[in-house]
């Protein structure tokens, strides 16, 4: 009986072990297939849009800007007409002496205008316009060419505007550049007169005629050497003479500004402008310069050679400095 029982027990044990293995395998597969815990969903807060109230303020704009050249043999000038408008929602107040409009080119040789100042306290009301008349400063100190000029309303920022990006306007003036001039000695002659050194003693003068054969106006400024002798038959006695340009004792007349666009409106005035001391030779024009040539008895009868050079130091701007010397055979000093 014991043997029978032992043999019957073995199949039952095997069957129990087989069932246990199946159960454990299914449990392991179930554990392997468990998904990770999902991340929590975070919802974005709704965007709240709020309109910022527009503050009332003046707003200066330039409606119109124009440059009118006034070029002649005495000066290189230009007038500018600049109309500003208050496009804001409050009046713009300018106090006496404030710069209302300015104008200048970024180029060092470009035009620069004298400021338009408030001659008195005044208010530019909403929608109101004001036209300023500006004048170029001396071309020797401020420059003169066709570089764009930027005009600015309230350049000092004294008016509390809501924006300043519309305060400017650029204008390109229709003028020729003095750097396009080309100076040459077109002729020389002897002329009886007085010694340029003392303006009293009689002497023969060397009259040097200079022509501007270029496309731009030639500009000579105070302190420049205009013409220099480079060879004369009497250089051992008198040296090589020069014609300098100095400021005259009597200041030149300053051309008046154009008529105020709004008669009777004197709220604006132009800043101080010094007189313009310069010599201008327009394209195609000539100018005579006098130097001491010799005096009676300095030379025996005969033909002698004189040489002279215009703009000898290259101080005046021009396109060609290689053709500035002239030579003349003259019968002299008899």
Domain-ending residue, one of 175, 199, 218: 175
pLDDT at 280: 94
**DSSP annotation of 52:** P
Q: Are residues 192 and 315 in the same domain?
A: yes
Q: What is the pLDDT of residue 6?
A: 45
CATH classification of the domain holding 75: 2.60.40
State whether 185 and 167 are in the same domain: no
| Domain C-terminal end among 160, 175, 190 | 175
Instruction: Confirm if 188 and 292 have CB atoms less than 8 A apart.
Output: no
* Tokens encoding 215: 């496309």
Greatest Cα pair distance in the chain? 176
pLDDT at 272: 82
Count of structural domains, the chain = 2
Together in a domain, 148 and 241: no
| pLDDT the model gives residue 49 | 60
pLDDT for the residue 48: 60
Is the CA virtual torsion 277, 258, 265, 95 positive or negative? negative
Q: How is the chain split among helix, strand and coil, in percent rounded to 5?
A: 15, 35, 50
H-run or E-run covering 83: strand 76-86
pLDDT at 23: 46
What is the distance, to the nearest Å, from the Cα of residue 243 to the centroid of all Cα atoms in its chain?
32
Which residues of the chain fall below pLDDT 70?
Answer: 1-54, 259-265
pLDDT at 158: 96
Q: 207 and 307: one domain? A: yes
Shared domain for 193 and 323, answered yes or no, is yes
Residues 145 and 222 in one domain: no
What pLDDT, on the 0 to 100 scale, is given for residue 2?
42
Those residues with Cβ within 8 angstroms of residue 193's Cβ, 6 or more apart along the chain or in another chain: 202, 203, 204, 205, 290
Q: Is residue 26 part of a domain?
A: no
Residues 142 and 206 in one domain: no
Residue 10 is assigned to a structural domain of this protein = no
Whether residues 123 and 215 fall in one domain: no
Domain that holds residue 206: 179-248+266-331
Three-state secondary structure of 183-252: EEEEEEEEEEEECCCCCCCEEEEEEEEEEECCCCCEEECCCCEEEEEEECCCHHHHCCCEEECCCCCCCC
> Is 27 among the domain residues?
no
Quote the strand ranges of 87-212, DSSP E.
92-94, 99-105, 116-118, 122-124, 129-135, 149-153, 168-171, 183-194, 202-212
Is 69 in the same domain as 117?
Answer: yes
């Amino acid at each position: 009986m014991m043997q029978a029982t032992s043999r019957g027990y073995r199949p039952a044990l095997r069957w129990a072990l087989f069932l246990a293995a199946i159960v454990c395998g299914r449990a392991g597969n179930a554990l392997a297939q468990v998904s990770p815990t999902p991340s929590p969903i975070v919802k974005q807060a709704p965007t709240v849009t709020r309109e910022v109230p527009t503050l009332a303020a003046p707003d200066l704009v330039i409606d119109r800007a124009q440059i009118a050249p006034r070029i002649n043999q005495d000066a290189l000038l230009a007038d500018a007409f600049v109309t500003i408008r208050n496009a804001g929602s409050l009046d713009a107040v300018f106090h006496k002496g404030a710069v209302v409009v300015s104008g200048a080119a970024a180029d060092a040789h470009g035009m620069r205008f004298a400021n338009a100042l408030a001659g008195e306290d005044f208010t530019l009301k909403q929608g109101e316009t004001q036209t300023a008349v500006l004048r170029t400063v001396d071309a020797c100190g401020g420059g003169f060419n066709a570089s764009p000029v930027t005009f600015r309303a309230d350049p000092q920022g004294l008016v509390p505007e809501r924006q300043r990006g519309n305060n400017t306007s650029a204008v390109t003036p229709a003028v020729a550049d003095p750097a396009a001039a080309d100076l040459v000695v077109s002729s020389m002659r002897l002329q009886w007169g007085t010694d340029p050194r003392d303006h009293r003693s009689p002497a023969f003068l060397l009259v040097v005629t200079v022509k501007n054969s270029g496309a731009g106006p030639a500009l000579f400024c105070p302190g420049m050497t205009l013409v220099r002798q480079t060879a004369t038959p009497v250089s051992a006695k008198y040296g090589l003479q020069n014609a300098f340009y100095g400021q005259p004792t009597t200041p030149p007349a300053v051309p008046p500004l154009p008529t105020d666009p709004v008669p009777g409106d004197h709220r604006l005035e132009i800043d101080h402008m010094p007189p313009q001391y310069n010599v201008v030779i327009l394209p195609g024009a000539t100018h005579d310069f006098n130097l001491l040539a010799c005096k009676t008895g300095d030379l025996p009868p005969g033909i002698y050679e004189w040489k002279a050079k215009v703009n000898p130091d290259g101080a005046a701007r021009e396109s060609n400095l290689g053709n500035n010397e002239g030579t003349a055979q003259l019968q002299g000093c008899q």
